[in-house]
Structure 1
Amino acid sequence: MSGFQVFNRTTGDCFACQEGQSVLKAIEQRGLKCVPVGCRGGGCGFCKIRVLEGHFECGKMSKRYAPPEAVEKGEVLACRIYPRTDLMIECMPQPAAPLAEQTKTKP
C-alpha cells in the first residue's frame, strides 16, 4: 500500500497518510492534536483545515462548513479528504462561541 507525506505547517509535524485514508484518520493514528474531532463524517465542521500545497480527493462534506468556494481555496474537513500527492496543511482556529452563549445563565 502506497502513501503520502503530510506536513502540518501549524505544528511542524510530518506524518504518513496511506492511499485511501483520510487525513483525520492519519492524524488520529499518530496521536497528534491538530484539530478537534467531532462526527468524523463531514457534517460538524470541527476538523477544518487548509490545504496549502498538494492534491486531494474530497468525500461528501457539509456545504455549511465547507462551501464550494472554500473548498476551491483548500479549506476542507480533514475527515473527508484523501491525499493524491504529498500535502502541506495548516490547522484552522475554531471560532469562539458567540458572547451570548458564553454568558447565558441557567434559570
Structure 2
Amino acid sequence: MSSAFEITEQCSGTQFYCEPGQSVLKAMEQQGLKCVPVGCRGGGCGFCKITVLSGDYECGKMSKVHVPPESRECGEVLACRIYPLSNLTIECRPRESEEPAKQQTTTKSMR
C-alpha cells in the first residue's frame, strides 16, 4: 500500500488507506468502516458530508444544494466525490437531520 494515501478521522482517530483515484467513501466501505451514512454514492443526496481539515484532494461533481460553494471553500465535501492527492485528515459528523427525527412525537386526535 505504498502508493495509497492515509486518511485519519480526527474525532475517533481511525486511520484507513485510500488508493489514488478511489473516493474516500469507497475506501471506507472497502475497509468496513461506517464513519458516515451512505446514500446515492453519486454526490446528489448529501448523506456522506465530511470536513477535510488538512491535505489535498480533487472533487467530483457534488450537489450545490448540499455543498454550496462557500461550504466547499471551508472543506465541507461529500466523501463519495473526493479523491485524495495526499494524506488527509477528515472529520465525520452525524447528519443534522438525524437529531430531530429522534425527538419526533405522535399526536392522536381524541373525540
Length-normalised TM-score, structure 1? 0.89
Partner of residue 40, structure 1: 41
Larger Rg over CA atoms = 2
The answer for unaligned runs of 5 or more in structure 1 is none
**Of 101, 104, 111, the match for 1:102:** 104
Give deviations 1:52-93, integer Å, cap 9, x for gaps.
Answer: 000100000000111111111000000000001100001022
Is the contact made by 1:59 and 1:80 (CA closer than 8 Å) also made in structure 2? Answer: yes
Cα root mean square deviation, aligned? 2.1
Is the contact made by 1:66 and 1:76 (CA closer than 8 Å) also made in structure 2? Answer: yes
Report matched runs for 1:70-81 at 5 Å: 70-81=71-82
Is the contact made by 1:47 and 1:77 (CA closer than 8 Å) also made in structure 2? Answer: yes
Partner of residue 86, structure 2: 85
Instruction: State the distance in 2 between where 1:12 and 1:43 align.
Output: 28
Q: Residue 70 of structure 2 aligns to which amino acid in structure 1? A: E
Equivalenced residue count is 106
The answer for unaligned runs of 5 or more in structure 2 is none
